[in-house]
Amino acid sequence: MDMQEKITALREELRRHNHNYYVLDKPTISDFEFDMKLKQLQQWEEAYPEYYDPTSPTLRVGGEVTKNFKTVPHETPMYSLDNSYSREEVLEWEKRVQKILGEVSVAYTCELKYDGASISITYENGILQRAVTRGDGVQGDDISANVKTIRSVPLRLQGDYPQKFEIRGEIILPLEGFAKMNEERIEQGEDPYMNPRNTASGSLKLQDSSLVAQRPLDCLMYAIAGSGLKMRTQFEMLEKAREWGFKVPPAAKLCNSLKEVMEFVDHWDVYRHELPYETDGVVIKVNDLRQQEELGYTAKSPRWALAYKFKAEQAATVLREITYQVGRTGAITPVANLEPVLLAGTTVKRASLHNADQIAKLDIRQGDTVFVEKGGEIIPKIVAVDLSKRRKDSEPLAYISHCPECGTPLQRQEGEALHFCPNELGCPPQITGRIQHFISRKAMDIEGLGSETVELLFKEGLIHDYTDLYTLTVAQLLPLERMAQKSAENLVNGVKASREVPFERVLFALGIRYVGETVAKKLARAYKNIDALMEAGEEALMAVDEIGERIAGSVVRFFSEEKNRERVARLKSYGLQFSLSETQLANQTDALKGQTFVVSGVFEKVSRTELKKLIEDNGGKVASSISSKTSYVVAGDRMGPSKKTKAEGLGIPIITETEFLSMLPS
């Protein structure tokens, strides 16, 4: 055996031992033996650098330093999950699933919900290419160098893996490793880390990957994304991931009824405390991947999955004071300032009180001892008051009547839960809030400009609304605190580059109430340019897919105000994109205008997602379920039988993929 063969053989042996130890938890040699073999491989690799292999086990020790993590798009979006907290909410979800599918038989895969940092890892030809954080679901940070140090993440796959795919998982810090890290910190006189989740997330953003390698991080996989995967169920997907070398927890179970699902939930609600890592619930997924495609997605979440959250941890503490925050829309949010209390591994000092009705419902008063819960929300909430500890001289809370920032009398519209400050042009938090929304990642994404800089620019009188950003100069910025030549140039160049941001994101950036990312895209596609949209009436707007009375009314009110029209005119003069690009327009027609389509089954010539886009690009509407308003059902392979029966019963034409494509302009 020559030296290259010896090195290759030792690498393969160490990969097997690594998999046995970190993935299967079944070591076949001692740690000492493994270390000796690894040391031997390092010596050989140093002596024969011509046999370098980027997937060698020796590279797990890290060493690469990343100054700035590059932001990259996900090939397939990473959606968040809708949460549920009761059996009733799960039943409601199941009803929605069955209504769309029109099928009686639905099986579910139940998996534990791991409490860590979400990750998407791309493999090509069995080799790890890139690891990206979840970010905003559309794009995240490339942390490949750090993820490669995690022993349970395979650098090279085994078995019959696809040529290219993304695998999703959660990077966690097992409880034992977390405890050991804290013991070492305390011995060194340092403060202990607060909880495993935040420590795992923070570890992934360390600039030196050799420091990440020293932390006992683990990675648990739960989903695969890509095309041509040749798998039919979620459960099969998990089994395949195991075969390829990934760590997939064995707790996952295939359930054939909601009764079995809730039995799984009840079991792990009790036994989760025996797990080696933190889990805060169960993820319930429709098992059949064809049915998942049928169900599709909302703007934020898959319709085919639901997170059942275990009862949140509670803690009792004293409510010191209630303060009020003003948002960019003028909405007033009351906030409880608390005696610091440890809850779910973090120190809680503030909690949301939502609105005046919530305060009145719980009869919350300053000085009360309250129960705080950290459920599915980022900010903890007060769920109850300990009346036995209330002072005798306590008085009911009088909700504020004037804006805490500008003193303007507050308004509360009929049917609204929140109070609002109507002083849109003179209330500082509303002004800076609108600008901060305008520059945010999903809107104009202006590089070199953050929330603190916006506050500073406003305070110094350099900007009064977001249109003023386009008049800033380097000379104006240099006198500002912490603003050097390079950062001033980056800010001005970032503003200049934002002129190329597409119309739908500019529309979202304007900050029209109720117009989020998805609605902005639909309005941009329907009206093509800002001038047509500004002249649209409520009825015309409501004819657009998923635009209801509330959104339509908000859009009309926004453009009826002269100051907003002036802002649009100014932004136009600075060169921002207020119409669809020629490329976008070239792909859009009104060929299917006024027609509603339901898409069912698996297709050969175009993907299901592409087919839906073709319908919308040509003026048609995509519906999730069949009704008397449906114009056509586009049927692919393995179409749901009950959908076929319903369509035939209503006399709705069922057309093939080829027939649909022939309806489009050539």
C-beta atoms surrounding 263 within 10 Å = 14
The SS3 of residue 40 is: helix
Q: Look-up: residue for tokens 């099986």?
A: 107
3-state SS track over 95-153: HHHHHHHCCCCCCEEEEEEECCEEEEEEEECCEEEEEEECCCCCEEEECHHHHCCCCCC
Q: Look-up: residue for tokens 């009790």?
A: 270
Which two tokens mark 590? 């009104």
Q: How far apart are CA 104 and CA 620, in angstroms?
A: 29
Is there a contact between 161 and 126 (Cβ–Cβ < 8 Å)? yes
Q: How far apart are CA 411 and CA 331, in angstroms?
A: 10
Helices 196-203, 175-187: crossing angle, 10 deg rounding:
80
Going edge to edge, which strands form the sheet with 305-309?
A: 83-84, 305-309, 279-286, 108-114, 253-255
Is there a contact between 105 and 211 (Cβ–Cβ < 8 Å)? no
Q: How far apart are CA 339 and CA 353, in angstroms?
A: 16
The SS3 of residue 508 is: helix
Q: Does the CA dihedral 448-449-455-461 come out positive or negative?
A: positive
Active site members: 113
Task: Write out the E strands in 11-107.
Answer: 71-73, 83-84
Q: How far apart are CA 255 and CA 40, in angstroms?
A: 48
CA separation, residue 520 to residues 541, 563, 611 (Å) = 12, 20, 21
Provide the β-strand partners of residue 288: 233
Q: Parallel, antiparallel, or unpaired for β 621-623 and 596-600?
A: parallel
Q: Largest Cα–Cα distance in the chain? A: 89
Is there a contact between 479 and 487 (Cβ–Cβ < 8 Å)? no
The SS3 of residue 353 is: coil
Q: For 574-637, where are the alpha helices, taking DSSP H only?
A: 582-586, 608-617
Q: How far apart are CA 84 and CA 104, in angstroms?
A: 22
